[in-house]
Amino acid sequence: MKIAILGGTGSIGGGLALRWALDHDIIIGSRKFEKAELTADKYRTVLRESSGKTCSMYGCLNEDAVNDADVIVLSVPYEHAVSTIESIKPNLKEQIVISIVVPMEKAEFFKYSPPACGSAAMEIKSKLPEGVKLVSAFHNVSARKLYNTNDELNMDVFICGDDNVAILTVSKLVKDIKNLRPLMAGPLEVSSMVESITPLLVNLAIYNKMKHLGIKCV
């Protein structure tokens, strides 16, 4: 499968790219072409050194990344999610878009700060052209743990969406990452609950001097 990661130069985009690269074709999207190319080059080197294997990965502008992709991961900070969608909109076909976006702010502690429509996912959906299927996932997985490919993940990934085929595709992509288990959480409207777990995990980590927490249902 061809997966474009918009903002793939960032923390969690890098982790997802490294974890998927041996099974899929990865396109690293960025606002800057040179940054995309250099980052893809860096990830290829990291993979070669850690696994001895080569992979199919290249970098390009976000808007070009979506052209060839079957699945598009929106991996930019919440504040820039809508502008990123606007920039790629003319190139979108009827692909699957995965939102991993969490709107949160730091005050005395981390708070979930969704838009008026309820969640980042619902806002992003309202900006996407008809035919594009949005699935919400990966909000509660630590970027650092994904990036360190020798780290055992042993976590659950809650998935929200309204299109069954798209949900199955994303569940398969979750399973393609060793020791991640996809769990269906409900329609896209449920994404607010899943997104809001992330600031909770960050607060738990800070108050209890823990690192890179995730969720596992037992």
Ligand X SMILES: NC(=O)c1ccc[n+]([C@@H]2O[C@H](COP(=O)([O-])OP(=O)(O)OC[C@H]3O[C@@H](n4cnc5c(N)ncnc54)[C@H](OP(=O)(O)O)[C@@H]3O)[C@@H](O)[C@H]2O)c1
Binding site for ligand X (CB under 6 A): 7, 9-13, 30-32, 35, 75-78, 80, 83-84, 100-102, 138-139, 141-143, 198
Rank residues 84 and 191 by Cβ distance to ligand X and give the closer one: 84
User: CB of 31: closest distance to ligand X in angstroms?
Assistant: 4
Burial of 91 from C-beta contacts in 10 A (0-12 / 13-18 / 19+): middle
Rank residues 39 and 171 by Cβ distance to ligand X and give the closer one: 39
Determine the residue type at 126.
S
User: CB of 84: closest distance to ligand X in angstroms?
Assistant: 5
Please give the residue whose beta carbon sits closest to ligand X in the complex: 10
User: CB of 67: closest distance to ligand X in angstroms?
Assistant: 17
Rank residues 110 and 167 by Cβ distance to ligand X and give the closer one: 110
User: Cα separation of 54 and 60, whole Å?
Assistant: 19
- The DSSP bridge partners found for residue 2 are 25
Rank residues 52 and 107 by Cβ distance to ligand X and give the closer one: 107
Q: Which two tokens stand for residue 18?
A: 């490294």
User: Cα separation of 55 and 173, whole Å?
Assistant: 17
User: Which are the contacts of 218, defined by CB distance < 8 A and separation ≥ 6?
Assistant: none
Rank residues 52 and 208 by Cβ distance to ligand X and give the closer one: 208
User: CB of 52: closest distance to ligand X in angstroms?
Assistant: 27
Rank residues 100 and 121 by Cβ distance to ligand X and give the closer one: 100
Pairing verdict, β 96-99 and 71-74: parallel
User: Cα separation of 92 and 130, whole Å?
Assistant: 10
Q: At what angle do helices 120-127 and 81-88 cross, to 10 degrees?
A: 20
Beta strand segments in 31-176, E: 57-61, 71-74, 96-99, 104-106, 110-112, 133-136, 155-161
Q: Which two tokens stand for residue 200?
A: 């909770």
User: CB of 78: closest distance to ligand X in angstroms?
Assistant: 5
User: CB of 21: closest distance to ligand X in angstroms?
Assistant: 17
